[in-house]
Amino acid sequence: MEMNELFYQDAYLKEFDAKVISCTACKNGFDVALEDTAFYPEGGGQPFDTGTLNGVEVFDVQRDKQDVIHHYVKEALDEGKVVHGVIDWNRRFDFMQNHSGEHIISGLIHKHFGYENVGFHMGEVIQVDISGPLNWDQLMMIEREANDIIYQNIPVQITYPNNDELENIPYRSKKELQGKVRIVTIENADICACCGTHVRNTGEIGLIKILSFMKHKDGIRFDLVSGKRALEYMRKEHDACKEVSCLLSAKPLEIHIATKKLLDNNLNLLNEKKQCMQKLLEMKLETYTQGKEYVIDFQEGLDRVSLMRYANALLEEKHIPTVCVFNKQENGYMYIILSKKINLQEYVKQLNTELSGRGGGKKEVIQGSFQSDAETIENVLVKTLPF
């Protein structure tokens, strides 16, 4: 079926009229094919358009292998009748800004470093996979140049060169292309084969912001946003920084200095606390005398290493055959139980069952956590373990 793809003729077309060719029931509603359409079908990394046909919601648009575009709607539409289509323009223009922004970034990376865009996904952020390694400073250099391209308000050109012309065009493409090829050109930034919708001039993108990056396979994966989406992100980031600056009593551009000072002070306090706890444990250790059959001891503010060191001291230095030590957590207690007398592995399952616990170990040591209170834990231990 020949169909006029109005989104290619005019990406800014918000409303149109078209005849319904077919309407068939499907899983979540009805599958409608039109004689013409301005609804962009999902493809090339760009999501589908939404909107309405005669006021009926269009919730998905897909292209099949025969190039038929399917509009999925909530209610049936009469075959042979002309319907009025309305595109969700805010959604469409957001995709146009972000798709064009991605072209500029990917094109500039290819221009300066020769790397290819090997993955592209438009979700809440635009995710891009690049074939080679880059660091943050290099990405920021690309971002600055990309925004310079925006300020120059360069035309975004769409052409359909023939095969002879294509041979002389150094365009980017993820795969070998056959038939009519659609080329998107942004002077000094990018030449790329693309089936998506784009802005007319780079100035309409407004802003490009790279958010983060990570190593991915042999290259990197980074997130970016453009246009209104970038402005909204920067507004939220500014509000968050402003709130933090108030909490720290620091100027917004100096919150990193204040935060580092706060973290350093916190680390010093933690070290002091650790030293105090160690002295308290040493003092408490001195109160234990040899000859005790077991110890059940509840602590607070210890890490697992300190708790294990304390348990070992009771076992080895005070020669207490069975040592059960605990550290208070949000939902119960972390436990370490050591014994030279009892095969603890025989009892760990029962203890975990009765005390809503998790953990395990071997004959001489078991460790994990119990979601229970201290009194209940002590009663169960005394009842269960043959001290």
In this predicted model, what pLDDT tens digit does every residue of 354-373 receive, in sequence order? 999 999 999 999 999 999 99
Per-residue pLDDT tens over the stretch 18-44:
999 999 999 889 999 999 999 999 998
Angle at 148 between CA 143 and CA 152, to 5 degrees: 150
The per-residue pLDDT of the chain, averaged, comes to 94
pLDDT, tens digit, 9 for 90 and up, residues 118-152: 999 999 999 999 999 999 999 999 999 999 999 99
* Distance from the Cα of residue 180 to its chain's centroid: 36
Residue 230, burial from CB neighbour count under 10 angstroms (0-12, 13-18, 19+): buried
Cα–Cα distance measured from residue 264 to residue 185, given in angstroms and rounded to the nearest whole number: 51
pLDDT exceeds cutoff 80 at 351: yes
Helix-strand-coil percent breakdown of the chain, rounded to 5? Answer: 35, 30, 30
pLDDT on residue 1: 46
> What confidence category does residue 82 fall into, taking pLDDT thresholds of 50, 70 and 90?
very high
Tell me how far apart the alpha carbons of residues 230 and 354 are, in angstroms, rounded to a whole number: 53
Q: What is the mean pLDDT of residues 50-58?
A: 98
Token readout for 189 is: 């930034």
Phi then psi for residue 127, to 5 deg, are: -105, 130
CA–CA dist 181, 176 (Å, integer): 10
Is the model's pTM score more than 0.75?
yes
Instruction: With a cut of 60, say whether residue 322 has pLDDT above it.
Output: yes
Length of the chain: 387
Mean pLDDT of 213-233: 97
Task: Report the side by side order of strands in the sheet with 117-122.
Answer: 117-122, 126-130, 219-226, 208-216
